[in-house]
Protein backbone atom coordinates (compact mmCIF):
# COMPACT_ATOMS: atom_id res chain seq x y z
CA UNK A 1 0.00 0.00 0.00
CA UNK A 2 1.45 3.39 -0.97
CA UNK A 3 2.01 6.27 1.41
CA UNK A 4 -0.60 8.34 -0.36
CA UNK A 5 -3.19 5.63 -0.02
CA UNK A 6 -2.49 5.38 3.72
CA UNK A 7 -3.04 9.13 4.24
CA UNK A 8 -6.19 8.91 2.16
CA UNK A 9 -7.58 6.09 4.35
CA UNK A 10 -6.84 8.09 7.51
CA UNK A 11 -8.65 11.11 6.04
CA UNK A 12 -11.63 8.95 5.16
CA UNK A 13 -11.70 7.56 8.68
CA UNK A 14 -11.68 11.04 10.22
CA UNK A 15 -14.56 12.11 7.94
CA UNK A 16 -16.56 9.04 8.86
CA UNK A 17 -15.80 9.55 12.57
CA UNK A 18 -17.08 13.12 12.48
CA UNK A 19 -20.20 11.98 10.63
CA UNK A 20 -20.93 9.41 13.34
CA UNK A 21 -20.39 11.97 16.11
CA UNK A 22 -22.66 14.46 14.36
CA UNK A 23 -25.41 11.88 13.92
CA UNK A 24 -25.17 10.81 17.56
CA UNK A 25 -25.39 14.43 18.71
CA UNK A 26 -28.38 15.05 16.45
CA UNK A 27 -30.24 11.97 17.69
CA UNK A 28 -29.47 12.85 21.33
CA UNK A 29 -30.77 16.41 20.81
CA UNK A 30 -34.00 15.20 19.23
CA UNK A 31 -34.54 12.58 21.92
CA UNK A 32 -33.96 15.14 24.69
CA UNK A 33 -36.40 17.56 23.07
CA UNK A 34 -39.21 15.00 22.89
CA UNK A 35 -38.48 13.80 26.42
CA UNK A 36 -38.96 17.36 27.69
CA UNK A 37 -42.15 17.80 25.66
CA UNK A 38 -43.55 14.49 26.90
CA UNK A 39 -42.75 15.24 30.52
CA UNK A 40 -44.18 18.74 30.29
CA UNK A 41 -47.28 17.44 28.57
CA UNK A 42 -47.87 14.99 31.39
CA UNK A 43 -47.63 17.84 33.87
CA UNK A 44 -50.02 19.92 31.81
CA UNK A 45 -47.46 22.66 31.05
CA UNK A 46 -47.53 21.93 27.32
CA UNK A 47 -50.77 21.07 25.54
CA UNK A 48 -50.74 17.51 24.18
CA UNK A 49 -50.77 17.06 20.40
CA UNK A 50 -54.18 17.65 18.87
CA UNK A 51 -55.88 14.41 17.92
CA UNK A 52 -59.26 15.81 16.91
CA UNK A 53 -60.04 16.49 13.29
CA UNK A 54 -60.02 20.17 12.33
CA UNK A 55 -62.81 21.78 10.37
CA UNK A 56 -65.70 19.88 11.97
CA UNK A 57 -67.23 23.09 13.32
CA UNK A 58 -67.52 26.28 11.30
CA UNK A 59 -67.76 28.50 14.39
CA UNK A 60 -66.71 28.40 18.04
CA UNK A 61 -70.37 28.67 19.04
CA UNK A 62 -71.23 25.55 17.02
CA UNK A 63 -68.47 23.64 18.85
CA UNK A 64 -69.75 24.81 22.24
CA UNK A 65 -73.33 23.87 21.35
CA UNK A 66 -72.19 20.38 20.36
CA UNK A 67 -70.07 20.05 23.49
CA UNK A 68 -72.75 21.25 25.90
CA UNK A 69 -75.39 19.00 24.36
CA UNK A 70 -73.10 15.99 24.07
CA UNK A 71 -71.42 15.95 27.50
CA UNK A 72 -72.95 14.85 30.78
CA UNK A 73 -71.42 17.56 32.95
CA UNK A 74 -70.09 21.08 32.36
CA UNK A 75 -68.43 22.91 35.24
CA UNK A 76 -65.43 24.87 36.44
CA UNK A 77 -63.15 23.40 39.06
CA UNK A 78 -59.87 23.73 40.92
CA UNK A 79 -57.40 20.83 40.92
CA UNK A 80 -57.10 19.50 44.47
CA UNK A 81 -55.03 16.38 43.82
CA UNK A 82 -53.75 13.96 41.18
CA UNK A 83 -52.42 10.41 41.38
CA UNK A 84 -50.15 8.28 39.25
CA UNK A 85 -53.08 6.32 37.81
CA UNK A 86 -54.44 9.47 36.18
CA UNK A 87 -57.27 10.30 38.60
CA UNK A 88 -57.81 14.03 39.11
CA UNK A 89 -59.72 15.42 42.10
CA UNK A 90 -61.44 18.76 41.40
CA UNK A 91 -63.13 21.14 43.82
CA UNK A 92 -66.26 22.40 42.04
CA UNK A 93 -66.46 26.17 41.55
CA UNK A 94 -69.47 26.58 39.26
CA UNK A 95 -71.85 24.17 37.51
CA UNK A 96 -73.67 24.75 34.23
CA UNK A 97 -74.84 21.18 33.73
CA UNK A 98 -75.09 17.81 35.41
CA UNK A 99 -73.52 18.01 38.90
CA UNK A 100 -74.62 18.53 42.49
CA UNK A 101 -71.36 17.61 44.21
CA UNK A 102 -68.87 20.00 45.79
CA UNK A 103 -65.94 17.92 44.54
CA UNK A 104 -65.52 15.23 41.91
CA UNK A 105 -62.87 12.79 40.67
CA UNK A 106 -62.27 12.44 36.95
CA UNK A 107 -61.18 8.94 35.97
CA UNK A 108 -58.69 7.99 33.23
CA UNK A 109 -60.13 6.50 30.06
CA UNK A 110 -57.78 6.30 27.04
CA UNK A 111 -54.77 8.01 25.52
CA UNK A 112 -56.86 11.07 24.69
CA UNK A 113 -57.39 12.15 28.32
CA UNK A 114 -57.02 15.87 28.98
CA UNK A 115 -53.87 16.64 30.98
CA UNK A 116 -54.56 18.61 34.17
CA UNK A 117 -51.86 20.58 35.95
CA UNK A 118 -52.39 22.63 39.10
CA UNK A 119 -54.90 25.41 38.66
CA UNK A 120 -58.49 26.11 37.63
CA UNK A 121 -60.26 24.65 34.59
CA UNK A 122 -63.42 24.76 32.54
CA UNK A 123 -64.40 21.09 32.15
CA UNK A 124 -66.69 19.24 29.74
CA UNK A 125 -66.97 15.68 31.09
CA UNK A 126 -68.65 12.50 29.86
CA UNK A 127 -69.60 9.28 31.62
CA UNK A 128 -67.32 6.36 30.89
CA UNK A 129 -68.77 3.40 29.02
CA UNK A 130 -67.68 1.00 31.75
CA UNK A 131 -70.43 2.40 33.95
CA UNK A 132 -70.47 3.32 37.60
CA UNK A 133 -71.09 7.00 36.93
CA UNK A 134 -67.37 7.78 36.46
CA UNK A 135 -66.62 10.94 34.47
CA UNK A 136 -63.74 11.66 32.11
CA UNK A 137 -62.51 14.76 30.28
CA UNK A 138 -61.12 14.29 26.78
CA UNK A 139 -58.83 16.45 24.67
CA UNK A 140 -61.62 16.32 22.06
CA UNK A 141 -63.69 18.90 23.95
CA UNK A 142 -63.46 22.61 24.87
CA UNK A 143 -62.00 21.65 28.27
CA UNK A 144 -59.21 24.10 29.10
CA UNK A 145 -57.58 26.50 31.53
CA UNK A 146 -60.31 28.65 33.08
CA UNK A 147 -58.44 31.94 32.70
CA UNK A 148 -58.28 31.36 28.95
CA UNK A 149 -61.93 30.29 28.61
CA UNK A 150 -63.65 33.64 29.13
CA UNK A 151 -65.63 33.54 25.89
CA UNK A 152 -66.85 30.01 26.61
CA UNK A 153 -67.93 30.78 30.18
CA UNK A 154 -69.76 33.92 29.01
CA UNK A 155 -71.61 31.85 26.41
CA UNK A 156 -72.52 29.30 29.09
CA UNK A 157 -73.77 32.03 31.43
CA UNK A 158 -75.92 33.53 28.67
CA UNK A 159 -77.28 30.10 27.80
CA UNK A 160 -78.42 29.41 31.35
CA UNK A 161 -79.72 32.95 31.91
CA UNK A 162 -81.85 32.95 28.74
CA UNK A 163 -83.34 29.48 28.19
CA UNK A 164 -85.35 28.86 25.03
CA UNK A 165 -89.13 28.90 25.54
CA UNK A 166 -89.30 25.78 23.33
CA UNK A 167 -87.28 23.73 25.81
CA UNK A 168 -89.09 21.34 28.12
CA UNK A 169 -91.36 18.32 28.08
CA UNK A 170 -94.49 18.22 25.95
CA UNK A 171 -97.37 15.75 25.48
CA UNK A 172 -99.46 15.23 22.37
CA UNK A 173 -103.07 16.43 22.49
CA UNK A 174 -104.70 13.71 20.39
CA UNK A 175 -108.04 15.52 20.28
CA UNK A 176 -106.58 18.69 18.77
CA UNK A 177 -104.16 16.88 16.45
CA UNK A 178 -104.61 15.33 13.00
CA UNK A 179 -102.15 12.52 12.33
CA UNK A 180 -101.44 10.80 9.02
CA UNK A 181 -100.62 7.36 7.68
CA UNK A 182 -101.18 4.32 9.88
CA UNK A 183 -101.30 6.53 12.99
CA UNK A 184 -104.47 8.30 11.79
CA UNK A 185 -106.76 5.31 12.41
CA UNK A 186 -105.42 4.73 15.96
CA UNK A 187 -104.88 8.36 16.94
CA UNK A 188 -107.05 8.28 20.06
CA UNK A 189 -104.98 5.42 21.56
CA UNK A 190 -101.60 7.08 20.97
CA UNK A 191 -99.61 8.56 23.85
CA UNK A 192 -96.68 10.66 22.65
CA UNK A 193 -94.18 12.63 24.75
CA UNK A 194 -91.73 15.12 23.26
CA UNK A 195 -88.62 16.31 25.16
CA UNK A 196 -86.88 19.35 23.67
CA UNK A 197 -83.43 20.63 24.63
CA UNK A 198 -82.19 23.87 23.09
CA UNK A 199 -78.49 24.74 23.22
CA UNK A 200 -77.90 27.90 21.22
CA UNK A 201 -78.79 26.93 17.65
CA UNK A 202 -78.84 23.21 18.39
CA UNK A 203 -82.32 21.79 19.01
CA UNK A 204 -82.36 18.19 20.28
CA UNK A 205 -85.54 16.15 20.54
CA UNK A 206 -86.50 12.79 22.03
CA UNK A 207 -89.93 11.50 21.02
CA UNK A 208 -91.46 8.58 22.93
CA UNK A 209 -94.61 7.01 21.45
CA UNK A 210 -96.74 4.21 22.84
CA UNK A 211 -100.00 2.79 21.55
CA UNK A 212 -101.01 3.03 17.93
CA UNK A 213 -99.37 0.95 15.18
CA UNK A 214 -95.85 0.84 16.70
CA UNK A 215 -96.64 -0.29 20.26
CA UNK A 216 -93.71 1.67 21.78
CA UNK A 217 -90.90 3.56 20.08
CA UNK A 218 -88.33 6.19 21.01
CA UNK A 219 -86.56 8.37 18.44
CA UNK A 220 -83.93 11.08 18.80
CA UNK A 221 -83.19 13.93 16.42
CA UNK A 222 -81.06 17.08 16.18
CA UNK A 223 -81.89 20.25 14.25
CA UNK A 224 -79.11 22.79 13.59
CA UNK A 225 -80.78 26.14 13.04
CA UNK A 226 -79.28 28.78 10.74
CA UNK A 227 -76.45 26.40 9.76
CA UNK A 228 -77.35 25.93 6.09
CA UNK A 229 -77.96 22.53 4.52
CA UNK A 230 -76.92 19.75 6.92
CA UNK A 231 -76.83 15.99 6.14
CA UNK A 232 -78.96 13.78 8.38
CA UNK A 233 -80.16 10.18 8.61
CA UNK A 234 -83.91 9.86 7.99
CA UNK A 235 -86.03 7.71 10.26
CA UNK A 236 -86.51 4.06 9.34
CA UNK A 237 -89.61 3.17 7.39
CA UNK A 238 -91.20 -0.22 6.77
CA UNK A 239 -89.80 -1.65 3.53
CA UNK A 240 -87.08 0.99 3.25
CA UNK A 241 -83.61 -0.34 2.40
CA UNK A 242 -81.44 2.77 2.21
CA UNK A 243 -82.21 6.40 2.97
CA UNK A 244 -80.26 9.64 2.91
CA UNK A 245 -81.22 13.23 3.39
CA UNK A 246 -80.30 16.86 3.94
CA UNK A 247 -82.01 19.35 6.20
CA UNK A 248 -82.15 23.15 6.32
CA UNK A 249 -83.50 24.66 9.55
CA UNK A 250 -84.19 28.33 10.28
CA UNK A 251 -85.37 30.08 13.42
CA UNK A 252 -88.46 32.25 13.41
CA UNK A 253 -87.52 35.90 13.99
CA UNK A 254 -88.60 35.75 17.63
CA UNK A 255 -87.01 32.29 18.12
CA UNK A 256 -90.35 30.97 19.37
CA UNK A 257 -90.57 28.62 16.42
CA UNK A 258 -88.69 27.26 13.44
CA UNK A 259 -89.04 25.88 9.93
CA UNK A 260 -87.13 22.81 8.78
CA UNK A 261 -87.10 21.57 5.18
CA UNK A 262 -85.85 18.04 4.48
CA UNK A 263 -84.92 16.45 1.16
CA UNK A 264 -85.06 12.67 1.55
CA UNK A 265 -84.18 9.90 -0.90
CA UNK A 266 -85.27 6.31 -0.15
CA UNK A 267 -84.70 2.99 -1.84
CA UNK A 268 -87.48 0.42 -1.74
CA UNK A 269 -87.90 -2.93 -3.46
CA UNK A 270 -89.91 -1.12 -6.12
CA UNK A 271 -87.27 1.52 -6.78
CA UNK A 272 -85.84 4.81 -5.52
CA UNK A 273 -87.92 7.91 -4.84
CA UNK A 274 -87.53 11.34 -3.24
CA UNK A 275 -89.78 13.35 -0.94
CA UNK A 276 -89.69 16.80 0.61
CA UNK A 277 -90.74 17.23 4.26
CA UNK A 278 -91.47 20.69 5.66
CA UNK A 279 -91.89 21.01 9.42
CA UNK A 280 -93.13 24.25 10.99
CA UNK A 281 -92.99 24.73 14.77
CA UNK A 282 -94.88 27.53 16.49
CA UNK A 283 -95.20 28.30 20.20
CA UNK A 284 -98.42 29.94 21.45
CA UNK A 285 -98.25 33.32 23.16
CA UNK A 286 -98.80 31.79 26.60
CA UNK A 287 -95.92 29.36 26.04
CA UNK A 288 -98.06 26.36 26.96
CA UNK A 289 -98.99 25.02 23.50
CA UNK A 290 -96.57 23.94 20.75
CA UNK A 291 -97.95 23.28 17.27
CA UNK A 292 -95.93 21.27 14.73
CA UNK A 293 -97.31 21.19 11.19
CA UNK A 294 -95.61 18.84 8.73
CA UNK A 295 -96.15 18.48 5.00
CA UNK A 296 -94.72 15.60 2.95
CA UNK A 297 -94.66 16.02 -0.84
CA UNK A 298 -93.73 12.97 -2.90
CA UNK A 299 -95.03 10.20 -5.18
CA UNK A 300 -98.18 9.84 -3.04
CA UNK A 301 -98.99 13.53 -3.33
CA UNK A 302 -99.25 15.97 -0.44
CA UNK A 303 -99.63 14.47 3.05
CA UNK A 304 -100.20 16.93 5.93
CA UNK A 305 -99.81 16.19 9.64
CA UNK A 306 -100.96 18.50 12.41
CA UNK A 307 -99.66 17.86 15.93
CA UNK A 308 -100.55 19.92 19.00
CA UNK A 309 -98.50 19.50 22.19
CA UNK A 310 -99.30 20.75 25.68
CA UNK A 311 -96.48 21.65 28.04
CA UNK A 312 -96.12 19.25 30.95
CA UNK A 313 -96.00 20.81 34.39
**Residue 280: inside a domain, yes or no?**
yes
Q: What span, in angstroms and rounded, lies between the C-alpha atoms of 78 and 90? A: 5
Determine the pLDDT at residue 42: 36
Residue 44 pLDDT > 60: no
Do 114 and 140 belong together in one domain? yes
Local confidence band at 29 (pLDDT 50, 70, 90 cut-offs)? very low
Do 108 and 222 belong together in one domain? no
Do 66 and 32 belong together in one domain? no
Total count of domains within the chain: 3
Determine the pLDDT at residue 20: 55
- The arithmetic mean of pLDDT across residues 42-63, rounded, is 51
Query: How far, rounded to the nearest angstrom, does the alpha carbon of residue 36 sit from its chain's CA centroid?
Result: 33
**Residue 53: inside a domain, yes or no?**
no
**Residue 177: inside a domain, yes or no?**
yes
Determine the pLDDT at residue 4: 44
- The arithmetic mean of pLDDT across residues 213-236, rounded, is 87
- The arithmetic mean of pLDDT across residues 191-215, rounded, is 90
Do 212 and 272 belong together in one domain? yes
Do 41 and 95 belong together in one domain? no
Do 11 and 100 belong together in one domain? no
**Residue 55: inside a domain, yes or no?**
no
Do 256 and 300 belong together in one domain? yes
**Residue 127: inside a domain, yes or no?**
yes
- The arithmetic mean of pLDDT across residues 172-184, rounded, is 90
Q: What phi, psi does 35 have (nearest 5°)?
A: -65, -40
**Residue 143: inside a domain, yes or no?**
yes
Q: What angle do CA 269, 273, 276 make, to 5 degrees?
A: 140
Residue 308 pLDDT > 50: yes
Using a 10 angstrom Cβ sphere, with 0-12 exposed, 13-18 middle and 19 or more buried, the burial of residue 261 is middle
CATH code of the domain covering residue 231: 2.40.128.20
| Percent of the chain clearing pLDDT 70 (strictly above) | 79
CATH code of the domain covering residue 137: 2.40.50.120
Q: Which domain holds residue 36?
A: 1-46
Q: What span, in angstroms and rounded, lies between the C-alpha atoms of 232 and 221? A: 9
Residue 246 pLDDT > 60: yes
Do 36 and 71 belong together in one domain? no
Q: Which of the listed residues 161, 183, 214 is the one where a domain comes to its end? A: 161
Do 307 and 194 belong together in one domain? yes
Q: Which of the listed residues 161, 186, 215 is the one where a domain comes to its end? A: 161
Within the chain, what is the greatest distance between any pair of CA atoms? 112
Q: Which of the listed residues 161, 188, 211 is the one where a domain comes to its end? A: 161
The sheet that has 202-210: what strands, in order across it? 216-224, 202-210, 191-199, 168-172, 301-311, 289-298, 271-283, 257-268, 242-251, 229-232
Do 265 and 178 belong together in one domain? yes
Do 78 and 129 belong together in one domain? yes
**Residue 144: inside a domain, yes or no?**
yes
DSSP character string of 190-227: -EEEEEEEEETTEEEEEEEEESGGGSEEEEEEEEEBTS
Residue 6 pLDDT > 50: no
Q: Are 78 and 90 in contact (CB under 8 A)?
A: yes
Do 78 and 119 belong together in one domain? yes
**Residue 54: inside a domain, yes or no?**
no
Amino acid sequence: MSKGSVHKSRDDCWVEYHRIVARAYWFRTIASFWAVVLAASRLGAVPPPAICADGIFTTRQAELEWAFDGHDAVFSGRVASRDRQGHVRLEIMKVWKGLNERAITLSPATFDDFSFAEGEYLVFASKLERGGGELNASKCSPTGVLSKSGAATKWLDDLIAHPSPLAGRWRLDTVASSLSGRAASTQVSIDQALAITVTGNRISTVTTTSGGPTSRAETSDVFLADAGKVPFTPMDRIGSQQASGSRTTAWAKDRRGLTSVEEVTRTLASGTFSVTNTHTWRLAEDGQTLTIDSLTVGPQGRIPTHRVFKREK
